[in-house]
Amino acid sequence: MSNINQSKMQELLERMETTMNDFERANVVVDSAQLLIRASRIMNDLLAKHLSLNIMASEH
């Protein structure tokens, strides 16, 4: 391989590695966001149950 081809290949490999790292970071952000959404849904469910129990208790 000529030096030009080798340097082009090296550049492409480095760009691919950078892109893969960017994807990995993006996946971590997405996973974190999904966990936060799931946690907020659980908290909303718990709050709704708590409120409905309080309403039922106050009616009796």
* Per-residue pLDDT at 10: 96
CB atoms within 10 A of CB 43: 10
Q: How confident is the model at residue 2 (pLDDT cuts 50, 70, 90)?
A: confident
Q: How confident is the model at residue 49 (pLDDT cuts 50, 70, 90)?
A: very high
pTM for this one?
A: 0.64
Q: How far apart are CA 46 and CA 11, in angstroms?
A: 53
Indicate whether 1 pLDDT > 80: no
Supply the DSSP symbol for 47.
H
Residue matched to tokens 């790292």: 21
* CA distances for 28 relative to 2, 6, 23, 51, angstroms: 39, 33, 9, 34
pLDDT over 90 percentage in the chain: 80
